[in-house]
Structure 1
Amino acid sequence: MKLIEHFLSIQGEGAYAGRLAIFVRFGGCNLRCAGFGVRLKAPNAKELIGCDTIKAAQCENFDFKDTNFSELKNIIKSHNAPNAIIVLSGGEPLLHQKNTDFKDFLRFLIEQNRQVHFESNGTIEPDFKSLPELKNCYFALSVKLENSGESKEKRINARALKSIFANSKGALSRNCLA
């Protein structure tokens, strides 16, 4: 898993705005969202077009470090913020739900009674059966609209959205489905 960044801040959007949060941003995304029009030159001189988290979404064009469970656990401890919510972001963090280090990290957070929030595009169905800890998590869904440049079939996964709303601790969507 590529770790793009981590930082302590205040959650600035959604129902949990104003809460102290540790943000952990993972690399990789199953969408490109070229319709958002953010342009960036990668180190390999390739021009990338995508969303506001283009480095995370298209991390394969950058030299980000792979991370493991031990490093992720130490990151959370290093922020010394025991009451902060943990926001797992990307790209699309659910791309990593089958990764052993990611699973161990999520289990660790839940065992520590941390409130875990996923920032997701809602296109990947969480595996609530093999990773039941996901049922203790909150989901902030940013379902992509037509202006993302992605096809409706790619950007809207009704099954995944229904599963998230039915099985998670809580879920909110920033966008109306079109």
Structure 2
Amino acid sequence: MAKSNDEQFKNVIAHAKEYGFVFQSSEIYDGLSAVYDYGQLGAELKNNIKTYWWKSMVQMNENIVGIDSAIFMHPKVWKASGHVDGFNDPMIDNKDSKKRYRADQLLEDRIEKYKKDGKTEKAEKLQTAMDDALKSEDLSGLKTLIEEHEIACPVSGTRNWTEVRQFNLMFSTQFGAMAEGSDVVYLRPETA
């Protein structure tokens, strides 16, 4: 009997924890969700992958040079690039399952279902409405589309949704010795 993907994933995680590849960060204090510390084998594996990547991507190419830049960047860099204002996702929570989803992803999944079921016109209308709502940043319009198309939470099966909110994906922190006199800086997005 074949194991489900969830069962296989749980087995991989259990193996990684048991053999010292990863440990949940701050585990003795209930841990942090999705934050892990590398154990003795995990640190070795990570370093081997990093070394292999560096050799194959940088050292073996004559026209590429490597740099190792700071993790903190001045906020003007991210303002100018549009990251601070535009690096966000419309998110919606299901009140019953307590799971958070990208609103546009839920709608895209429904569009794919309509296409699979041969409801091409319905899929096209929903795609246009979603694109318009995203362009105009109409968050309530996204929720209305989710409700009109009776999209249920994949986990709980209910349609008990919160409002759609924009979640900024940039990690900010304060740079300085004292909070009130500190400057806001952002971590590079690829490190978040």
- The normalised TM-score by structure 2 is 0.20
The structure having more radius of gyration, on CA atoms, is 2
- Which is richer in strand? 1
- Which is richer in helix? 2
